[in-house]
């Protein structure tokens, strides 16, 4: 494949991964916001079990996509 096609294809993959990461972070922040408004013991459980892992998963996917993007373009 020509070099420009490789870069364009890897850019599309990076864009998709960043969109997924942004969606996970947004959902996690929404859960965190909802649980902060509600004062109930289960709100903390939702905060800790649902919201925090969503934000962490989004951040990790984002970081992983940046790291792998750099190695793909140099091959």
- pLDDT (0 to 100) of residue 72: 58
This prediction has a pTM of 0.80
11, 65 Cβ separation under 8 angstroms = no
pLDDT tens by residue, 18-62: 999 999 999 999 999 999 998 899 999 999 999 999 999 999 999
Q: Which of the pair, 4 or 31, is modelled with greater confidence?
A: 31
Residues contacting residue 53 through CB under 8 Å, at least 6 positions apart: 28
């Amino acid at each position: 494949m020509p070099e420009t096609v490789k870069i364009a294809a890897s850019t599309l993959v990076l864009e998709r991964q960043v969109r997924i990461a942004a969606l996970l972070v947004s959902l996690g922040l929404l859960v965190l916001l909802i649980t902060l408004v509600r004062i109930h013991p289960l709100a903390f459980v939702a905060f800790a079990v649902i919201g925090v892992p969503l934000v962490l998963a989004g951040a990790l996917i984002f970081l992983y996509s940046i790291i792998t993007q750099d190695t793909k373009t140099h091959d």
